[in-house]
Structures are given as C-alpha cells and as structure tokens.
Amino acid sequence: MKTELVFANLSGIETELLVVTAADSQTEKGADAKPKPGLLTSDAIVTAAAAAVLASGEFKAAANETLLLHAPAGLAAKRLLIVGVGNAAKATQHSVRSAAGTAVRFAKPRGIRDIAFALAEAAELPPGPCSRAAVEGALLADYDPDTYRSDRKDQSIYSFKLAALAGTDAAAVELGYAEGIIVAESQNFARELVNEPGNKLTPTILGQRAAAMAKTNGLKAEVYSTEKLHELKMGAFWSVSQGSEEPPALIVLTYEPEGYDAATYSGPVLGLVGKGITFDTGGISIKPADKMELMKYDMAGSAAMLGAMAAIGRIKPSVKVISVICSAENMPDGKAQKPGDVQIAMPFKEGEPGKSIEIINTDAEGRLVLADGLTYARQLGCTHLIDAATLTGACVVALGPVNAGGFSNDDETFEKLHKALDISGEKVWRLPLGDEYFDQIKSDIADIKNTGGRWGGASTAAQFLQVFAGDTPWIHLDIAGMAWYEDTKPFIAKGPSGFGVRSILEWVRSYEK
C-alpha cells in the first residue's frame, strides 16, 4: 500500500473512495435519546452530499459503523464512505485509528484500490496524533495473514491518501503521518513473524530475520546459540531447548542514540526482553492436541520487541535500548528435560551461584527462558526492564482477549507504561505480585519451582520472573490473550495482532531527555 499526505479540499479529490468520519453528538441519556450523527468535516459540499442520509436516521455514527454512497453529488470522488467514531465526547485518536482501518477493510473485498481518508476536524481530535493514528489504522488493516495461500488474490489497497485541509497544522500532521508509517510497518513486521509456522520460523531463522531487520534499521545485532548459552551458564534457557533438534537463539539487538559515547552516557539503558518459543508443544508435559497449532505464536513476545526495535531504529529516540530475545523450541524428546529435573539459572554475578529451579511442569517454559534473559539484560547494564511473553493461559482466563496482564515491581516505571497506552490505544490491566505468590513457588528441594499450582497462575508466573528482575525496575507483560485475534474485527484481520509494539515503543520514548 502506497501512502501519501495531501493538503486539499475534500470535494476536489479524485479517488475511488473518499472516507469521512462521523460522530454522535447526542449528550442526553435514556431510551428516548436519539443519536445525532454529524460529519467531522467543515466541507460544505461533502456535508450537503451526506445530508439526506444523515437525516434519515439510518446511520448512527456508532464506532466503526459504515455507510456508503455512490456518485455523491458535487464530489470528484466516485464514492463517499462515512465511518462512525462513536460518541463525540469520547472519541479519541484511537477511534480514528479504528475508523481508518475499518475503511480499508471495507474497501479490500470490494475491489476498491484507492482511498482518500479525510483527517477528522474536531476540537477533541488533534491533527498530529490523529494523522499518525489514521495511517497506522490503514496500514494495519491492509495486512492479511495470507503469506502461504497459493490462491492469494492481491486485495491490497494500492493507494491511501491522508487528506488534511490546507491550513491544518502542517508540521504536526507531517510528523504524525511519518511516524504512523514507521509504527505500522514495524507492527506488521511483528505480525509477519508471529504468523510464521514453527517449521518456517525456527529459533535460527528468527535470529536471521532479527539480524536482517537490525541491519536495515541501524541497530547492532548479535545472534548466539548453544555454545554461548553454556558459556553464560544459562541453565534455565538451555533446559527448554535441550529437547529439540533445533538449536536455540540468543538474540541481542542494541540501539545507541545519536552521539552515544559509552564513557559519558549517563541516561537510562532500557532492556526489552522477549519470549521467543517458536513452537510450544509443552515438552514432556505435552499439551492436548486441540488448538496446539496456535502454539506457533508463542514467540509473539519476542516479535513485539523486534517490532519495537525496528521502530526505535527509525524514530531514533535519545535513549539507549538493548533487546534480549530468548528463542527455543519446546519439544518432547529423549534428551528433553523431565518433571522433577533441577536446573541452575544464569548467575547474576560471575562466581555467584545461580538460582536452582525444580521443574514441575515442562510446559511452564516461558519463565525459564525469560529468567536467563532478564539476568543477562541486567548484566549488560540495563537500568529498566520490560518483558513481553505469551506466558500463561491463566492470564487469558482472567482478562480475556481484551487486556494484556501487566506486572511491575516499581510504580513509577509502570506509570510510564500506563501513560504510553493513551497514545498506543492498547489495553493493559495491572495484576498483583506479592510474597504470598512467592510462597506458592517455593520448592522443597531447590530455590524455587517453575509452577505455583492451580490458583493465580498469571501472578505466580510473574512472581517467578521477579526473582530474576531483582531490584531493577521492571514490567512484565503477559500477552497470551492478545497476541492472536481469534475473531475478525472491522478494522483488523484475525490472526497475529502485533500487540505490544506500539506501547513498548511509547514506553521507551517516555525516557527521552
């Protein structure tokens, strides 16, 4: 999809589909309150073209509701599509993101290949953030997970124009537009990785894809395997990969801000740690067959970090970022680890003993690879950590496919993520950590065990990770319920979501000087 930014009057734009947003300005409540849909444009010709249908009451301007008019009077456009953003007082840039996405997904199956999307004119919808959101929504909506379909029909939109009125704050619109492209392309990169099946994306291949991405985006990349895991004494990470024919990959990407000098840099060093299980069979504690195919998305945490790093390399914030990705395949095999085995995690300091872990369930493998990933990130000098992982089914049970679970040992650090969500439009709900959860993962024979019993599974998993984050300010995102959409939404395809890329990026940017 080619994108373009134009400053023009809507009525003169030649396009197959002109899209304008509409909001419901009804403020009364109650059963009798009728919706008051109104277009978010000051263009008199567009307003006149839509007047009759808006007056009919057929269209209520609910979020992502659509209404199509052919040959709209007085417009150069062949069609006019009105997309609702819901209640006017509650509409945000995220409503605009969804509306732009809805327009693209409306057009795709209808053979419409060229769209002009009018930037909303409304006091509550600032042009900069809304430009960004509109381009993001469009590019995210254009993506379909159809890589492996031989009958793949090219239904992509060829051209997407973002149309702003002449006189709109051009600098803000241009910046938002440029950032929107970067962010959406990075998120789509994450989605492509998540969509790859286990036989096409092994840890080794993930390492190659990460290195190639790093090269394009000006990041330093190091990709290690078995030998390095042994050298670093990453006993927890290795224990997961030992049952697979596929070697593990430890991927380290580094972003250094402009003018970076290791000797004088005194800013924060942010550590982005990702779970990269390219397929999770459960290991010897093997999973049931039903829906097991979805466990190809067990590397979505690492994809989120790689997507965020791609955007960081292009947006160039003034803060150092290191991403540590721990990738392995969790398989049952003659060499696989067994319940009851004891593994020694990577020691934080040379000469210190690593924590001993009793393996209760080999399917609780994400926390094992992340344990060593977090320790390594701290050892590399990270001052703040964030990890993302499809970690527990318990988190999906608790929050559904609506919110990711968020955990943190530091309120200030979590607050920064919370603020980032206003920009990203993603949802994260904070869940508790605490000593009582730690009691659940005490082992009789080792320092800790890798499962905490039936109750509070998302929290006991997070509590396990906290042992390895130590005192370093840290956030854990459990994205098990968010990384793969089971249902189609009007603005995005079902399948890999790329969840986390936008929020992690904004969290990183919140540390800029």
Which residues are known catalytic residues?
287, 367
> Is the Cβ of residue 43 or residue 280 nearer to Zn ion in the bound state?
280
- Say if residues 346 and 236 touch (Cβ distance below 8 Å): yes
The binding site for Zn ion (CB under 5 A) comprises 277, 280, 298, 366
H or E stretch including 117? Answer: strand 114-118
Q: Which residue is nearest to Mn ion (CB)?
A: 363
Q: Return the half-sphere exposure (C-beta side, CA atoms, 13 A cut-off) of residue 93.
A: 21
- Give the separation between CA 370 and CA 49, rounded to whole angstroms: 57
Could you tell which of Zn ion, Mn ion, ligand BES, none binds residue 49, using a CB distance below 5 to 8 A set by kind?
A: none
Per the DSSP assignment, residues forming a β-bridge with 272 are: 323, 386
Between 112 and 273, name the residue whose CB sits nearer to Mn ion.
273
Q: Which of positions 269-308 make contact with Mn ion (CB under 5 A)?
A: 280
Q: Which of 223, 462, 228, 468 is nearest to 345 (CA)?
A: 468
Quote the least distance from Cβ 97 to ligand BES, whole Å: 25
Using CB distances below 5 to 8 A depending on partner kind, what does residue 451 bind out of Zn ion, Mn ion, ligand BES, none? Answer: ligand BES
Q: Between 39 and 369, whose beta carbon lies closer to ligand BES?
A: 369
Q: Which is nearer to Mn ion, 202 or 413 (CB)?
A: 202
> Diameter of the chain by CA atoms?
79
Any idea of the CA torsion for 277, 283, 289, 290, to the nearest 10 degrees? -50
- Closest contact distance (angstroms) between CB of 362 and ligand BES is 8
Provide, rounded to whole angstroms, the least separation between the CB of residue 494 and Zn ion.
Answer: 21
CB of 132 within 8 A of CB of 180?
yes
CA distance 107 to 68: 11
User: Which of these ranges, 125-133, 255-263, 356-364, 398-406, lies near Mn ion under the rule CB under 5 A?
Assistant: 356-364
- Least distance to ligand BES, CB of residue 370, Å: 11
For Mn ion, which residue of 329, 363, 372, 478 counts as binding (CB under 5 A)?
A: 363
How near is the Cβ of 392 to ligand BES at its closest, in Å? 4
CB of 399 to Zn ion, least distance (A): 17
Coil, helix or strand at residue 114: strand
Minimum distance of Mn ion from residue 363's CB (angstroms) = 4
Residue nearest ligand BES, Cβ-based: 393
Q: Are 173 and 134 in contact (CB under 8 A)?
A: no
Give how far Cα 310 sits from Cα of 306, 412, 501, Å: 6, 26, 9
- Give dist(CA 88, CA 154) in Å, integer: 36
Residue 329 sits in the site that holds Mn ion (CB under 5 A)? no
Q: How many helices (H) and strands (E) does the chain have?
A: 14, 20
β-pair type (159-164, 249-255):
unpaired
Q: How far is CA 282 from CA 243, 302, 362, 363, 478, in A?
A: 11, 18, 6, 4, 18
* Complex with ligand BES: residue 302 or 392, whichever CB lies closer: 392
Rg (CA), the chain: 24
Q: Pick from Zn ion, ligand BES, Mn ion, none: which does 192 bind, CB < 5 to 8 A by kind?
A: none
Pick one of Zn ion, ligand BES, Mn ion, none as the site partner of residue 510 (Cβ within 5 to 8 A by kind).
Answer: none
Least distance in angstroms from the C-beta of 367 to ligand BES: 8
Report helix, strand or coil for 12. Answer: helix
Closer of 122 and 483 to ligand BES (Cβ): 483
Residue number of the CB atom closest to Zn ion: 280
Cα separation, 129 vs 101, whole angstroms = 15
| CA–CA distance, 284 with 373 (Å, rounded to integer) | 23
- Residue 363 or 506: the one with the smaller Cβ distance to ligand BES is 363
Dist. CA 358–CA 65, nearest whole Å: 53
Per CB under 6 A, residues contacting ligand BES are 280, 298, 361, 363-366, 390-394, 396, 451, 457, 480
Q: Distance between CA 201 and CA 306 in Å, rounded?
A: 14
Interaction residues for Mn ion, span 392-431 (CB under 5 A)? none
Distance CA 80, CA 302 (A): 41
What single-letter DSSP state applies at residue 189?
Answer: H
Nearer to ligand BES, 154 or 487 (CB): 487
Binding residues vs Mn ion (CB under 5 A):
280, 363, 365
